[in-house]
Structure 1
């Protein structure tokens, strides 16, 4: 696999040179300052490439070209936003970038109740606390009909949790859940979040799933023509939130998407953390099922804290947690070998060590939550070690 590293641009407290020293070969980045729905300017693409090259690496993967809420709901300027998405693909291809990640999560991207939760070793990790989230939904957001989505015991626990929260925790919880895309300055206040939720009135899971297919029907032919692999990131967490449907949470979801728009360039970002939060997802089996259409890989591990779905979970160390990372990497290496034999040009799948616990000097650096320097370096080193061992000739995966 090609080892890459997410970088948020000049605002990132972790530099491109840091990534190179950690062992990364390429950078995963995006133009977060360009408003969602607009075409990415060619000069801004070139400027980001120059910044990455100055640090000694190449810009390998775009994560992400945001898909606007208008596209997801097929309202307002959605057709113009699709045309702009297509044009951005053309400009990225002209700049030599061949992999573009995106997500189709309504309103909220990845959702956590804690951005710097303290582990038993004193590290800081992101966490999703199920009861805190319900307390937010029912008592802080006061979403109409929210209580109907939860069982009686959960509602009682959430009521008590909310009663025990001080004002600082309530504010922190609202900020954490309403945070925007990683690297962006966007975020939702409670009134803004309520307003965005209302735009999905009448949009159920089947409708959102069809809107995804409609989007891909428009952008996939452009991706084919310009030689870009587009890859959908799974829902994080992989279950419905705030009454909003989710359509990329399971093997069945991805099978439907890939069958409906059956082009090799239309694929998935295989995120072991997002998919691993759902106990029913068999990750090594999913790699085997979708191997030819996996265009990008996020390797991270989560620890589920409950034997139920939805559940509380936290971002564990890369080789800990509930995902068998060795088995996942073995399946990915088998797919790379098949691609080499078949003569595919995309036989080296880009991978990045996703998220990471803040450890050692990370604790004072103040980097983007989930994206510390040393925590990711540790994760990348461990993942590279597994890959190097499995790629040894004695195992036959090289």
Structure 2
């Protein structure tokens, strides 16, 4: 399992030197400053590779760009409206430019409007660490009373409606604004940011779209770009919905094993694959992460290893980002399943037998608390997570290799 680290570019408060000291072997990044729908040019790609591999004094950092996360899919493509065909052409051109630069693994998602959603980006834990959290009552308050989405109240039961109204009445204007900012924070490091009016406009455009139609649009997109990936030797891997439940009246199509299985069958190619994110999928109690790795492992091209602690047993509920070994997902079982899949691939002679993973998210601890890095992406919290995951791998890999020899 290749140990990688997400880096948001030269403006990231966690430097490449920090990443080297953490022990990661490769970098996961993207051209976040390039607007969605535009071509990633060879020059921009080369500049990012140079920023990764060359230190300020001109020496080689020893780090390389391993995984693209993410090459974003425009809202026009998701809705099949506006400039969606031109955006697909641009996407193909970006894929060609990435392949020429030696990149092979491309992570993306197909979530409408918001790429991930939390209500608190720095929730304080009993020991003083902070983490990201999704509070369903706070989200209902935002949806019903701050965003004022038409029909929003119908998506929540009476008790949740009452709690949302109570919280809204007690909140100050500053608290309401802070909640709204957290919810629409969007994709980390992205070029675009949303206002509430932007969100309302996007929601109106999706109002008539069903889950089936959004899935059909994803299949159409993949049918267009996967042949290009096959030609170039690229592997696309779709990130799950985060959280993996319907929000804001929007359809969700990559939230469960059944969702992934359907899309893998619809575009049945090794180039159409999965980013298995244990944190996103783990927010649902009905998702069996080790089992998903066993059953879908042939198409898993990238792993996000993180953990969440669910606060209810409901499919849709509150949760927070736990320590990597401290949440509801059995991380040891998941890593073992990944190691077994790697061993199977290696025995088959697959060139892509080593699955890249990164310690996804992390709690802000120690010096992280004053660093103000990208929310969810602290230096020391992720270093701790990577060390824990590395320990699991070191303990299990010899046994798995011996059993399958």
User: Same fold per TM (> 0.5)?
Assistant: yes
Q: 1:142 aligns with which of 120, 143, 148?
A: 148
Return the TM-score normalized by structure 2: 0.97
Q: Deviations over 1:61-105 (max 9, x none)?
A: 000010000000000000110111111111101000000000000
Q: Which residue of 2 aligns with 1:165?
A: 171
Preserved CA contact (<8 Å) 2:153 2:161: yes
Establish whether residue 260 from structure 1 lines up as the match of residue 266 from structure 2.
yes
Q: Which residue of 1 aligns with 2:316?
A: 310
Q: Secondary structure at the match of 1:217?
A: helix
Q: Give, in angstroms, the shift of residue 395 of structure 1.
A: 6.7
Q: Deviations over 1:366-392 (max 9, x none)?
A: 100000000000000000000010012
Establish whether residue 298 from structure 1 lines up as the match of residue 304 from structure 2.
yes
Establish whether residue 389 from structure 1 lines up as the match of residue 401 from structure 2.
no
- Equivalents in 2 of 1:302, 1:102: separation in Å? 21
Going from structure 1 to structure 2, the CA distance change for 1:222 and 1:386 (only over 3 Å counts) comes to same
Q: Which residue of 1 aligns with 2:45?
A: 45
- Equivalents in 2 of 1:397, 1:339: separation in Å? 15
- Equivalents in 1 of 2:238, 2:18: separation in Å? 28
Q: Which runs of 4+ in 1 moved over 6 A?
A: none
Q: Secondary structure at the match of 1:235?
A: coil
Q: Deviations over 1:321-364 (max 9, x none)?
A: 10000000000000000111000000110000000000000001
Q: Secondary structure at the match of 1:310?
A: coil
Q: Secondary structure at the match of 1:391?
A: helix
Q: Which residue of 1 aligns with 2:93?
A: 87
Q: Which residue of 2 aligns with 1:219?
A: 225
Establish whether residue 5 from structure 1 lines up as the match of residue 16 from structure 2.
no
* Unmatched segments (≥5 aa) in structure 1: none
- RMSD across aligned C-alpha pairs, in angstroms? 1.0
1:82-231 aligned within 5 A: 82-231=88-237
Return the TM-score normalized by structure 1: 0.99
- Equivalents in 2 of 1:360, 1:309: separation in Å? 33
Q: Secondary structure at the match of 1:5?
A: strand
Q: Secondary structure at the match of 2:206?
A: coil
Q: Give, in angstroms, the shift of residue 397 of structure 1.
A: 6.0
Q: Secondary structure at the match of 1:199?
A: helix
- Equivalents in 1 of 2:305, 2:299: separation in Å? 17
For these two proteins, the number of residue pairs brought into alignment is 398
Q: Secondary structure at the match of 1:352?
A: strand
